[in-house]
Amino acid sequence: MRPLPIPALPPMTPLAPLVLPALRAAGLGLALGLIGAVATPVGAAPLQQPAATLYRGGDILTMAGPKPAYAEALVEKGGRILYVGPLAGAIKAAGGGARQVNLAGRTLLPGFIDAHGHLVLASHTLLNADLIGVKSIPELLGRMKAHAATLPEGVMVEGMGYRAEQLAENRHPTKEELDSVSTTRLVFVQDGSGHQGSINSVLLKQMGWNASSKDPAGGVITRKPGSSEPSGHIAEAPVFAVLAAKAPLTPAQIRQGVGKAVALWTANGQTTASEMGFGLSDDDIDVVRQMLDEKLLPIDLLLFVKHSFLEQAKAGRSAVVAQYADPASRAPRVDSDGRYLNRVRLAGVKFWLDGSMDNAFMSQPYTNNPSGNTEKNFRGLAVDPQAAVETTVATTWKSNRQVAGHSIGDQAVDNFLVAIEKAYAAQGPADHRPIIQHAQFLRPDQIVRAKKVGAITSFTAGGIYPMGDYLARLMGPERLAWAGAAGSVQRAGIPWTIHHDMPAGVSPSLIYALWNIVNRTTKSGVVLAPQERVSAYDGLRALTINGAYQFHEEKTKGSLEPGKLADLVVLSANPLKVDPLTIKEIQVLETIKEGTSLYRNPSLSAGGATTASVPSSAPINEKDNCLVPHDHPQKPLNPAQQAAMDRLLAPRP
C-alpha cells in the first residue's frame, strides 16, 4: 500500500482535566441487565473547568444526515461537542484560552464504531503466534515453534490467522504435523475465521476425542480418510469447546492482552468497540472484571454474551453488583445515558446460526465444496439449536437487550428471521433492532422480511477482495447476486453497518472494509455483484451514525453535533474526494475519545514530512462517488469479467 504524503500536525498541548458530571448509578448486568453509569466519588475535590479545543482548517464531515454536510469548525469541551458551524461562531463559543488545532487539510469525522468485533477475544489471541499470511504448513509450523520457544514450559502453544484455501497444501494441518511443535504440550491453531482449526495429539487426548467419539452437536471432528480416527482438524462446536477448556489468563496477561487489543482498535480509528461473543473463553468474566476494577479501557466496549454462556454470566452478576453498589467505588463517566460502568456495557445476546464461510448454512448445496470437504450435497452447518434461539429472542423482544445472529448462509438468515418473526407476531413491534451479523448471502425476499421486523444488517466487508474469488467458487454465479447485498439493503431503506470481525477478520481497518464495500473488486479483477456497490458516503455512515443506531447509541455518538460525545477520528484524506480505488490508502492520523487523544500516527511526529495539497472544501455530488448509482440495475459481466468468473468456477483438477 502506497502511503499518502502527510504533513505534520502542530504539537498538541495537554488537555485540561475534564469536568465529569455525576451520573445515574446502576449495576453490572452480567445477567444481561445494563451496566450502569457512575457517580462522582463523595468528597472529591472540584475539578478545574477545562479549556475548549477548536478544530478548523480541514474537511469536518458531520455525518448528520443522508447527504454529506460539512462544517467550518468544531469545538470540544469537557469531552463533548460544544459547537459545530462557522469559524466565527466557533471562536466565540470556545472562549478565552481555547486550544486550536489546525487540521491542515485533513478530514475530521466521528470516531468509528466497531459494529461486530471481538475485543475480549483479541486480548487472548494477540498473545499467540500470528499465522496471518502463512503460505504453507511448514511456514505455519515454523511460526508455532518460534512462539513455543518464548513460552514457559507447560503453557498451551496457540496461533491464529491461517486460511486453508490460501495454503499450498489447500488443507488444515494434521495432528501429526502439530505434534512436530510439541508432543508434550497442548497445541492449538485457529484459522482466520476463528471457526475452524487443528489440535495436536496431546490436546485431542485431553479433550477425550478419539475414534469412538461422536461429533458434538453443531460441529465436526474430522476423521482420517477411510477411518474414524481424528485427523486433528475441528470445526465450530469443538473449537468453542477448546477455547472454553483453556487455562485462564493471568492478571499480567490480561493487562498485556487488553493493552494490545485497545492499541489495535484505536490505531484504526475506533472509539467504540464490541465483543460479539462474550464467553467464548471460560475466563471472559475474569477479563472483564479486571477491565472494570483496573479501569483498563480508554474506549467504550459493548458485550453480546454467547448464548450458551448465559448461565455462567448470571452466576457472576451478584458479586459485581455488590462490589459496585457503593458510588464511591465507581469511576465518573462522561456518557450520561447511564449504561456504562468503567466503559463497559453488556448490551445483548449472540447466537451462531452457522459457522465460517466454509460452513455457511445454505438452503441449497454448495457449487464446490470447501477445501478438504468431500461430503455430498454439502449445505454447511447449523450451530445453535433453533428452539433455543427462538426462546431467547422471544424473552428479549420487548426488553432493552438486543439479539444478534451470526448468519452467513441464506438458510442461517432464514432461521434467524423465523425466530424474530415469531416474536414480532406474538408480541407486536418493538424498537429492538435485531442484528443480522455477516449477512453474506441475503436473498431479496429476506431483505423485505428484515425491514418488516426492524432488523439491521451488518456486513463483513473486508473479505470481498481477499476471499471473493473463493466465495465465488463455493457458491457459483447465481447466488453471487446475493453476496454482501449492501446496495439492495440501502435501496430498501434498512440501516446497515460494516465491520471487521477481528481477530476473526482479515484486517482491523474499517477504512479497508469501506474500500471493499465501495469497489467490490476481488483479487482476480472480478467485480463481485456490481449492483451492490454503494457510495463512499453511505459506507462512512455504516461506520459512524449507523453503527451508533445499531447499538441504540445514536443520541450520543455517530455524528458531529452539539451535545454528543467528542469521539473523533482524523484521516489523511477525505474518502468522498479521492478516487474510490484509492480509499484503502487513507490513513488514520489520530483517534480521540471524549476529547482525549488515544492514538497519533507516528508519521505526525516524524521530521521532514512533506506537505500535501489541501483538498477543496467545495460541495460535492454524492452520486459522483458511487461507481454504480443506487438505482442502477444489475448489469451482465463484460467478456473479460465473465472469462475470469468462468475460470474461478471451473472444477479443480
State residue 117's pLDDT score: 96
Phi, psi of 120 (to 5 degrees): -65, -45
- How much is the pLDDT for 405? 97
pLDDT of residue 338: 73
Picking from 282, 295, 261, 419, the residue whose alpha carbon sits closest to that of residue 352 is 419
Structural domains of the chain, ranges and CATH numbers in brackets: 128-245 (3.10.310.70), 353-559+621-649 (3.20.20.140)
**CB–CB of 269/111 below 8 Å?**
yes
Judged against a pLDDT cut of 90, whether residue 323 lies above it is answered with: no
**For residues 359 and 380, is the Cβ–Cβ distance under 8 A?**
yes
Distance in angstroms (rounded) separating the CA atoms of residues 623 and 545: 20
Cell representation of residue 444: 431479496
The confidence score (pLDDT) of residue 331 equals: 53
Question: DSSP secondary-structure letter at 17?
Answer: P
pLDDT for 496 beyond 50: yes
Angle 589-592-593 from CA coordinates, rounded to 5°: 155
- The answer on pLDDT for 411 being more than 60 is yes
Greater confidence (620 vs 79) lies with 79
Closest by Cα among 435, 446, 351 to 389: 351
Mean model confidence pLDDT for the chain? 83
Q: Nine-digit cell at 109?
A: 469525522
**Three-state SS for 347?**
strand
**pLDDT exceeds cutoff 50 at 13:** no
What band does 512 get if pLDDT is binned at 50, 70 and 90? very high
- CA pair distance 271, 56, nearest whole angstrom: 21
Q: What is the pLDDT of residue 643?
A: 54
Task: Please tell me the predicted confidence (pLDDT) of residue 357.
Answer: 86
pLDDT the model gives residue 122: 93
Q: What is the pLDDT of residue 317?
A: 59
Residue 321's pLDDT is: 66
Give pLDDT, residue 153. Answer: 87
- HSE of 91 in the Cβ direction (CA atoms, 13 Å)? 3
pLDDT of residue 354 exceeding 80, the answer is yes
> Do 390 and 422 touch, CB atoms closer than 8 A?
yes
Query: CA 83: distance to chain centroid?
Result: 30
pLDDT band at 49 (very low <50, low <70, confident <90, very high): low
Contact yes or no for 356/220 (Cβ under 8 A): no
Residue 591 near residue 604, CB atoms below 8 Å? no
pLDDT at 443 over 90: yes
pLDDT of residue 78: 93
Which of the residue ranges 28-37, 194-203, 475-484 would you say has the lowest mean pLDDT?
A: 28-37
Percent share of the chain, pLDDT over 90: 65
pLDDT digits (tens, 9 = 90+) for 455-495: 999 999 998 998 899 889 999 988 988 999 999 999 999 99
What is the pLDDT at residue 532?
A: 96
Residue 569's pLDDT band (cuts 50, 70, 90): very high
- Of residues 200 and 311, which shows the higher confidence score? 200
Beta bridge partners of residue 147, listed in sequence order: none
What does the pLDDT average to over 258-275?
97
C-alpha span between 344 and 94 (Å, rounded): 31
Lowest mean pLDDT among 68-77, 92-101, 236-245, 592-601: 236-245
Q: Cα–Cα distance between 331 and 639 in angstroms, integer?
A: 62
Question: What is the C-alpha separation between 34 and 20, in angstroms, rounded?
Answer: 21
pLDDT for 88: 96
Q: What is the mean pLDDT of residues 31-36?
A: 31
Given a cut of 50, whether residue 32 has pLDDT beyond it is no
Q: Is the pLDDT of residue 125 over 50?
A: yes
Contact between 52 and 99 under an 8 Å Cβ cutoff? The reply is yes
What pLDDT does 605 receive?
60
**652: pLDDT strictly greater than 70:** no
Are 486 and 534 in contact by the 8 Å Cβ rule? The answer is yes
Tell me whether strands 112-113 and 568-571 are parallel, antiparallel or unpaired: unpaired
Whether residue 144 has pLDDT greater than 50: yes
Mean pLDDT computed over 570-594: 97
According to the model, what pLDDT value does residue 12 have?
A: 36
Position 318 confidence tier, pLDDT thresholds 50, 70, 90: low
Q: Is pLDDT at 645 greater than 70 in this prediction?
A: no
Tally Cβ neighbours within 10 Å of residue 555.
Answer: 12
pLDDT at 372: 75
Using an 8 Å Cβ cutoff, are 67 and 624 in contact? no
Burial 251-261 (b: 16+ CB within 10 A, else e): eeebbebbeeb
At 534, the pLDDT band (50, 70, 90 cuts) reads very high
What is the predicted pLDDT for the residue at 328? 60
Confidence band, pLDDT 50/70/90 cuts, at residue 638 = low
Whether residue 490 contacts residue 437, with contact meaning beta carbons closer than 8 Å, is answered with no
pLDDT of residue 309: 86
Nearest to 307 by CA among 207, 390, 423, 194: 390
Identify the pLDDT of residue 33.
35
pLDDT of 64-99, one tens digit each?
Answer: 999 999 999 999 999 999 999 999 999 999 998 999
Helices (H), 428-554: 444-452, 464-480, 486-492, 510-519, 536-543, 545-550
Report strand pairing: 496-498 vs 456-459: parallel
What is d(CA 285, CA 295) in angstroms, rounded to the nearest whole number?
A: 15
Distance CA 344, CA 286 (A): 14
